[in-house]
Amino acid sequence: MEQATDTIPAGPSAIRHLLLDALALPEWNEAFLAIDGPPAAEQGSRYALRVRPGLAGELVYTAVETDRIEISWQVPGFHEVGSWTIGPDSQVTHTFEQTGPLATVLRPAYRNIATIRLARLTNRLRELAHSA
């Protein structure tokens, strides 16, 4: 299991909104090439997913709560369950666990990815704030 925590300079509602904008996930998570499905995610929302290097699979929002969002996604040989816990002070903890034969092969490449994902989320929120 990988985990990282950081304070993100945006309000909890902005963080939550970006995490629930499933169609925009590829804008800040470079593993995702394309996502297709409903524009606003809620618990149980399912999406067709394409990831690098072109594998097709599915992404599902398995929990959508005020302070926690959980996303599960899988492609052949790889399954990830990721959780984003958002504190009232905009402290965000990202935890994920990966399983499957492809996950085993890729494990070294995923070291520190929780920290990198938090940084990319922060950068995307900054970009959105500057363009508003």
- For the stretch 56-105, pLDDT in tens is 999 999 999 999 999 999 999 999 999 999 999 999 999 999 999 999 99
Q: Do 72 and 49 form a contact (C-beta atoms < 8 A)?
A: no
| Rounded Cα gap, residues 111 and 130, in angstroms | 31
Whole domain around residue 70: which residue ranges? 2-131
Number of domains in the chain: 1
Around 118, how many Cα atoms within 13 Å sit in the side-chain half-sphere?
22
Q: Do 70 and 59 form a contact (C-beta atoms < 8 A)?
A: no
Backbone dihedral region for residue 81 (phi beyond 0: left; psi -120 to 50: alpha; all else: beta): beta
- The CATH number of residue 60's host domain is 3.30.530.20
Closest CA to 90 of 59, 45, 40, 126: 126
Q: What is the mean pLDDT of the chain?
A: 95
**Single pTM value for the model:** 0.94
